[in-house]
Chain A
Amino acid sequence: MTGLESLYREHLGYVLQSLRRLGAPAHRVEDLAHDVFVTVHRRLADFDTSRPVRPWLFGIAHGLVANERALASSKRAEAGSPSEQVDDAPGPEEHSERAAAQRLIRRALEELDDEKRAVFIMHELDQVPVSEAAAVLGLLTDTAWSRLKAARKQFKDAMTRQLGSMEGGLHARTRP
């Protein structure tokens, strides 16, 4: 358990952050983090210690979030209920400027589809080389590059749109 515990102590913050970036529902983040580390425990013996840990953790988190989404989607289809609304209202600690910017980024990330989002987060936010990200996500490197290119464009469009709507909102509120 020592190896697992040291990984847990060192990378829990990263795992929680990655799960949120991947769009895991807020009320499921803790459970999914639990599942990530249980999976880590199972696969620890197979992990190549010469490779960086975080991309590996991200790959596990990505798979679990994808499973979660598929399960939620099939349950919704069975129940015929509307899609789950994630409460993204700012918490008390999120009133700073940086927190507001982070919320904008997360919303823009939510507009990317899963495949593009994973490559984008790994390369643009975690600064993982594209070849490494492709290996973790089981993609051809060319495919990862093309997804990254498309994701960059979609992300910038989404950010521009959000900033525009914020400015529009501000103008509307300040108008006499």
Chain B
Amino acid sequence: MLERDPELDAMLAPERQEPPMPPAALNERLWRRISDSVRAGAGPARGPVGPALLIITGLLGVAVGAWAVSSFRAQPDVPAPTVEAPKVERVVDAGPPPPQTISDETTTSPRAAEAGARPTDEDRFLDRESSRLGVREALKKNQLLQAGAALAKHEADYPEDDVREEREALLVLTAAFSQSTALPRAAAAFRARYPDSGLLLALPTPQNEASPGRPVAPRDGGCTVNGRLGFSTNDPTVHVSDVVVYAVTAARSGMRTSPVNHQVVVEPREFTPKRSIIQRLDSVTLELKDRREHGVFTSDRSTLRLRLLPRRNTTSEPVVFDTFGSFRLQCDVHANERGFVVVVPDARFVTSVADDGAWQLDGVPPGKVKVSILEPNGARFDVVVNACSSAPIDSTLEGNEPPVLTRFNGSPYGEYQQ
């Protein structure tokens, strides 16, 4: 807590008064612009993000490919997904001009050219938002080709605009159109990432979802794969029981396809559970049970960037983990608060190593199976075996050196940030 500084107060006194009323002309001019933008469905100004033209080109290619394949195999009893486009909300309580009409083909409206004048920032902003609205309208109507073309043009015309949401929606719709097995996960990931997106209504509902939190049972008559691990590590915070063993099989049927949200409770000195084993594309929600604030992040600083939990019972947005591996959870405030999220490809066949190094996976389908043994600091042992005729897998694993843990901004724990 800082004391008041009379000298500073004196310096700042002239600036501490209520802001003056803006000139009436500015006031009205600006309000007209804002009304126009709101009527045109303009979103907020977005930060600069790289255009990623290659990605959109790829997406467009996928969309076109899906369309071509679908045209070739078009059957009257297998209609393309048709989802009625939701009505676009327009606010029309301000006077003229009338709401702008945007067709699917017209993705930009060269206002400045129409007026024969040099484009202003306002023109460019409105053109950009009209262009993006065109993309979104096409997506809502499941017009993939138009959406892909409009998106590519938008990216070329407005490389500074962030259209990740539209790109991902196009990817999901393309998966739906081509009846891809990736659809449920792609759709669920989109929902998790953009929970309030206006494009959600256009997305198909995933079918055959498993009950959340309950993995789908493996096929009947599975095999048992077991082994014993000799584990050594220099990290005093890691124990052999923190090591995870998981299997990946060629048989994907029965694998859980709908992501599950897992909860990690942030307590005064620890994460509970200390280790969460999740399937790729599952999400994790953090809930604070301490009176003081915490800031949680993963040590790689990218999977989970600093997530602030300012007060008791604060719950974070779900964080989707889309990469395999072991991720260390850290707190920005408390140096000794440790936890792990282990992301595996298939949550059906996962187990922990017992204190004596023994482990066992049950119900594994017959045939070739890849078994991976992963310790919290990332060292791993992989082996491919035949599930029903494999001898016990005896292995040794030396843990990686523990990382030097620092706060999110790289400063050491224990130093007050300046």
A residues adjacent to B (C-beta < 8 A): 1-2, 4-5, 8-9, 12-14, 16-17, 21, 28, 30-35, 37-39, 41-43, 63-64, 66-67, 70-71, 74, 98, 101-102, 105-106, 124-125, 127, 131, 134-135, 138-143, 145-146, 148-150, 152, 155-156, 159
Contacts and interface: CB of A to CB of B under 8 A. Distances in A.
Nearest to A123: B2
B316 interface: no
Given A42-B44, A67-B45, A138-B308, A125 B19 contact: no
* Size class of the contact patch on chain B: 35 or more
B308 A38 contact: no
Interface stretch (B10-18, B336-344, B345-353, B397-405): B10-18
Interface string B136-176: 00000000000000000000000010000000000000000
B37 A71 contact: no
Nearest to B14: A101
B21 interface: yes
A148 B35 CA distance: 37
B3 to A, nearest CB: 11
Contacts of B46: 67
A13 B21 contact: yes
Interface stretch (B26-34, B224-232, B371-379): B26-34
A135 B47 CA distance: 21
A145 B8 contact: no
A-B interface, 4 closest residue pairs, ranked by CB to CB distance from nearest: A39-B44, A13-B19, A35-B45, A17-B19
A148 B8 contact: no
Interface of B: 1-2, 5, 7-8, 11-12, 14-16, 18-22, 26-27, 30-31, 33-35, 37-38, 42-48, 91, 93-94, 121-122, 125, 160, 293, 295, 308, 310, 332-333, 416-418
Given A34-B37, A38-B42, A149-B2, A16 B11 contact: no
A1 B31 CA distance: 11
A30 B26 contact: yes
A13 B22 contact: yes
A149 B180 CA distance: 56
A34 B35 CA distance: 10
Contacts of B16: 125, 127
Given A34-B30, A38-B42, A1 B94 contact: yes
Nearest to B333: A140
Contacts of A4: 34, 38
**A interface, by DSSP: helix, strand, loop or mixed?**
helix
A39 B45 contact: yes
Nearest to A21: B15
Name the prevailing secondary structure of the B interface residues: loop
A69 to B, nearest CB: 10
Given A12-B27, A67-B45, A150-B418, A31 B121 contact: yes
A119 B281 CA distance: 36
A47 B75 CA distance: 49
Nearest to B50: A74
B197 to A, nearest CB: 12
Contacts of A34: 30, 33-34, 37, 122, 125
A14 B19 contact: yes
Contact of B122 (A31, A42, A134): A31
A28 B124 CA distance: 14
Contacts of A21: 15
Contact of B417 (A17, A42, A124, A143): A143
Contacts of B94: 1
Nearest to A100: B14
A8 B34 contact: yes
Contacts of B2: 145, 148-149, 152
Scoring A37, A63, A125, A156 by chain B CB atoms within 10 A of each residue's CB, the highest score goes to A37
B47 A67 contact: yes
